[in-house]
């Protein structure tokens, strides 16, 4: 009980841990909403719906991983951000923005050829943007930031 209260106090007094907790809560809410949508579907599950659910799971996993990194870093008294993490985030944002522009052009091209609702196009576009961001982050992390 004492351990639990100390743990709660640690979170309350540490702003980085608070942010990690917010990321954790948001990820869990997204996961719960997706699960509710998926399991309450009346008709049988189609492949695009299964794919959408799979992508959401991957992105939630990414969010949880971020929260975990922040949380363990805060417990080790590490700074929440340093020059590498800032540069990595900037580079990821720049790359994903650039690639997303082409993705939206492709979506517009696709919309003229395939019958899709506006909601479907927007949903797929937003989800694709998140996937592009995730992939850019993974590539930059493996490639490193030499000669930047």
In which element (H, E) is residue 138 found?
helix 118-143
Asked whether the beta carbons of 65 and 22 are under 8 A apart, the reply is: no
What is d(CA 68, CA 54) in angstroms, rounded to the nearest whole number?
21
State the burial class of residue 67 (Cβ atoms within 10 Å of its Cβ: 0-12, 13-18, 19+). buried
Which of these ranges, 10-18, 49-57, 82-90, 91-99, lies near other proteins under the rule CB under 8 A? Answer: 82-90
79 binds other proteins (CB under 8 A): yes
Interaction between residue 68 and other proteins (CB under 8 A): no
By CB under 8 A, tell whether 145 contacts other proteins.
Answer: yes
The nearest distance, CB 71 to other proteins, in angstroms, is 13
CB of 6 to other proteins, least distance (A): 23
Please give the residue ranges that form the binding site for other proteins (CB under 8 A): 73, 76-79, 82-85, 143-148
């Amino acid at each position: 009980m004492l351990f639990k209260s100390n743990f709660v106090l640690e979170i309350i007094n540490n702003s980085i841990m608070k942010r990690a907790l917010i990321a954790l809560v948001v990820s869990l809410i997204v996961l719960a909403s997706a699960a509710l949508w998926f399991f309450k579907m009346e008709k049988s599950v189609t492949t695009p719906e299964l794919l959408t659910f799979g992508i959401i799971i991957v992105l939630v996993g990414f969010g949880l991983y971020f929260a975990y990194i922040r949380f363990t870093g805060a417990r080790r008294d590490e700074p929440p951000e340093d020059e590498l993490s800032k540069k990595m985030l900037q580079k990821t944002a720049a790359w994903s923005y650039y690639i997303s522009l082409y993705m939206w052009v492709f979506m517009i091209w696709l919309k003229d050829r395939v019958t899709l609702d506006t909601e479907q196009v927007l949903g797929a576009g937003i989800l694709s943007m998140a996937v592009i961001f995730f992939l850019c982050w993974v590539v930059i992390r493996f490639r490193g930031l030499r000669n930047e």
